[in-house]
Amino acid sequence: MKILVIDDTGQIATILVAIEAEVVCITDEIRALNVAQQQQPELILLDYGLLGGQTPDYIRLLLAATARSNLVVIGEEMSEEQIFRCLLAGAKGYQEGRQLSDYIGRLIPAVTQGEAWLSRRMVAHLLDAIRQQLNRQAITA
């Protein structure tokens, strides 16, 4: 399995040392986009702190370049709105960085097997957004 880590702090890569996978760590978002397109990793772990508010746009670029990659955002104390925007852009999950070492062993197989990596609270937020969108469409139809 190929895992692409996009992180300029080195914290994510340190946690992945014990994982049996081909892990490539990139600190530059432009180079990471090129590597993702060439290598087509199964999983991309993206540090939200690298691009901050521009992360959702970058997620769209990454996923457009990688046909089969699953992407999880790793962040520190992100707001629900920030997480939500990343999920709408195509991320399959979010993990608090400080807890990554506790969950990485479950996160990787879950996401690569097609599951989302989200809190129940975020699932409820997504369901509310879908319901609101459907209600708007029903009103305009």
What are 70's two structure tokens? 């699953």
> Is 30 a residue whose pLDDT tops 90?
yes
How large is the average pLDDT for residues 40-51?
97
> Is 136 a residue whose pLDDT tops 90?
no
Look at residue 92 in the predicted model and tell me its pLDDT: 97
How large is the average pLDDT for residues 21-31?
94
Q: What is the mean pLDDT of the chain?
A: 93
Which class in CATH covers the domain with range 2-140? Answer: alpha beta
> Could you tell me what percentage of the chain is helix, strand and coil, using 3-state DSSP and rounding each to the nearest 5?
60, 20, 25
Q: Report the predicted TM-score, pTM, of the whole model to 2 decimal places.
A: 0.92
Of 37 and 140, more confident: 37
> Is 141 a residue whose pLDDT tops 70?
no
> Is 118 a residue whose pLDDT tops 90?
yes
Look at residue 62 in the predicted model and tell me its pLDDT: 96
Look at residue 133 in the predicted model and tell me its pLDDT: 85
Query: DSSP states of 100-114 as a string?
Result: HHHHHHHHHHHHHTT
Of 31, 32, 33, 40, the residue nearest 67 (C-alpha) = 40
